[in-house]
């Protein structure tokens, strides 16, 4: 094994472990944020017997396997959801390293990817997009653009290009304003909500990370995936996931897009769109530009 392979192996393991540890924290957040509880203290406890979980019983994926999915104290089953989330973020950790290499961009994008996993889980389970992610996420996205400006070798590139801070700010405004206006137009013309404020803040955050026109690519990818999944769900299952409308009247709670009378959460698709742009934005952009050059 030469030096290059050794570094690749070493940093792959570090990225996978980093992703897994963040996944473990995301499990805590996904469980506590919708209940408005602190994600810092108290430490992780068994939901049944409330005994604190020791660090050696809290190693991502590995502990769940070693404990055979049971609490060490009371034997209560531990849901497969926890190791699944940890495995997903660990896998994303590796993919980010594989894509961005040894650079400042890698830890930044591992955290962003894990945050999008958290938003997806909470939106699917509790029909809300946590402000705890999107509100700090907007200034952080501008901070990342500043970081890239100060450190040109950071590897932070959007659609394969350097992202100026001004461009990130335009992304926040375009991302937030487009969904906000869509919601107002929907209210005016269709007399129903088009978008929840959670989606507005989420796309503003993604706009900050991917700039303009990156934010438009996020919406485009999200819409394509959302339409395909929506049509499949409606034709196969004959219905989309049901949700009681009375529970979603609150402005911050409602984030569904109407599709032929069926309601689907749009947040997960925006998150997926963000991940696709993060990994493949440059390729999609180059492909598009090549098509335009060919006059197609
Ligand atoms: Zn227990």
Rounded Cα distance, 106 and 7, in Å? 15
What's residue 95's pLDDT?
97
Same domain, 153 and 263: yes
Q: What is the mean pLDDT of residues 193-213?
A: 92
Same domain, 86 and 230: no
Question: At which of 71, 94, 117 does a domain end?
Answer: 94
Rounded Cα distance, 44 and 23, in Å? 13
Q: What is the mean pLDDT of residues 229-256?
A: 59
Q: What is the mean pLDDT of residues 162-169?
A: 92
Same domain, 117 and 233: yes
| Residue 158 β-bridge partners | 161
How many angstroms is it from 65 CA to the middle of ligand 1?
16
Provide the domain count of the chain: 2
| Of the listed ranges 20-24, 52-56, 198-202, 244-248, the one predicted with least confidence | 244-248
- Tens-place pLDDT, residues 6-42: 999 999 999 999 999 999 999 999 999 999 899 988 8
Same domain, 274 and 154: yes
User: Taking 70 as the threshold, does the pLDDT of residue 259 lie above it?
Assistant: no
Same domain, 8 and 51: yes
Same domain, 81 and 153: no
Rounded Cα distance, 256 and 201, in Å? 14
Rounded Cα distance, 166 and 160, in Å? 17
User: Taking 50 as the threshold, does the pLDDT of residue 242 lie above it?
Assistant: yes
- pTM score, whole prediction: 0.87
- Tens-place pLDDT, residues 168-183: 999 999 999 999 998 8
Same domain, 219 and 256: yes
Structural tokens at position 99: 């894509």
How many angstroms is it from 17 CA to the middle of ligand 1?
25
Same domain, 72 and 169: no
What's residue 101's pLDDT?
92
Domain carrying residue 68? 1-94
Question: At which of 70, 94, 118 does a domain end?
Answer: 94
- Tens-place pLDDT, residues 126-150: 889 999 999 999 999 999 999 998 9
Q: Are 281 and 214 in contact (CB under 8 A)?
A: yes
**Measured at the alpha carbon of residue 13, what is the angle toward residues 69 and 60, in degrees to the nearest 5?**
20
Same domain, 10 and 149: no
What's residue 296's pLDDT?
62
Same domain, 70 and 131: no
The mean pLDDT of the chain is: 88
How many angstroms is it from 27 CA to the middle of ligand 1?
17
Secondary structure of the chain as H, E, C letters? CCHHHHHHHHHHHHHHHHHHHHHHHHHHHHHHHHHCCCCCCCCCECCCCCCECCHHHCCCCHHHHHCCCECCCCCCECCCHHHHHHHHHHHHHHHHHHHHCCCCHHHHHHHHHHHHHHHHHHHHHHCCCCHHHHHHHHHHHHHHHHHHHHCHHHCCCECCECCCHHHHHHHHHHHHHHHHHHHHHHHHHCCCCCCCHHHHHHHHHHHHHHHHHHHHHHHHHHHHHHHHHHHHHHHHHCCCCCCCHHHHCCCCCCCEEEECCEEEECHHHHHHHHHHHHHHHHHHHHHHHHHHHCCC
How many angstroms is it from 246 CA to the middle of ligand 1?
35
Same domain, 158 and 74: no
Same domain, 84 and 170: no
What's residue 265's pLDDT?
76
How many angstroms is it from 47 CA to the middle of ligand 1?
7
Q: What is the mean pLDDT of residues 250-256?
A: 43
Question: At which of 40, 75, 94 does a domain end?
Answer: 94
What's residue 266's pLDDT?
87
Q: What is the mean pLDDT of residues 73-86?
A: 94
How many angstroms is it from 213 CA to the middle of ligand 1?
49
């Amino acid at each position: 094994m030469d030096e290059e392979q050794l570094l690749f192996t070493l940093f792959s393991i570090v990225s996978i472990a980093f992703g897994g540890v963040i996944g473990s924290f995301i499990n805590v957040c996904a469980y506590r944020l919708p209940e408005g509880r602190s994600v810092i203290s108290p430490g992780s406890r068994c939901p049944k017997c409330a005994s604190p979980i020791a660090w050696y019983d809290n190693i991502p994926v590995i502990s769940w396997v070693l404990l055979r999915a049971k609490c060490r104290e009371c034997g209560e089953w531990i849901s497969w959801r926890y190791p699944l989330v940890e495995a997903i973020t660990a896998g994303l950790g590796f993919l980010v390293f594989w894509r961005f290499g040894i650079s400042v961009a890698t830890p930044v994008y591992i955290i962003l990817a894990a945050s999008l996993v958290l938003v997806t889980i909470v939106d699917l389970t509790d029909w809300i997009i946590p402000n705890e992610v999107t509100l700090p996420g907007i200034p952080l996205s501008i901070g990342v653009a500043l970081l890239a400006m100060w450190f040109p070798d950071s590897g932070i590139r959007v659609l394969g290009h350097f992202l100026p801070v001004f461009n990130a700010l335009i992304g926040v405004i375009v991302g937030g304003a487009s969904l906000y206006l869509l919601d107002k137009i929907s209210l005016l013309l269709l007399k129903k909500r088009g978008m929840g404020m959670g989606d507005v803040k989420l796309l503003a955050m993604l706009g900050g990370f991917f700039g303009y026109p990156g934010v438009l690519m996020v919406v485009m990818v999200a819409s394509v995936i959302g339409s395909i999944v929506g049509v499949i769900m409606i034709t196969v299952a004959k219905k989309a996931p049901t949700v009681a409308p009375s529970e979603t009247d609150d402005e911050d709670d409602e984030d569904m897009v109407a599709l032929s009378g069926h309601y689907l959460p749009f947040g997960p698709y925006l998150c997926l769109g963000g991940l696709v742009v993060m990994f493949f934005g440059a390729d999609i952009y180059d492909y598009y530009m090549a098509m335009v050059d060919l006059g197609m």
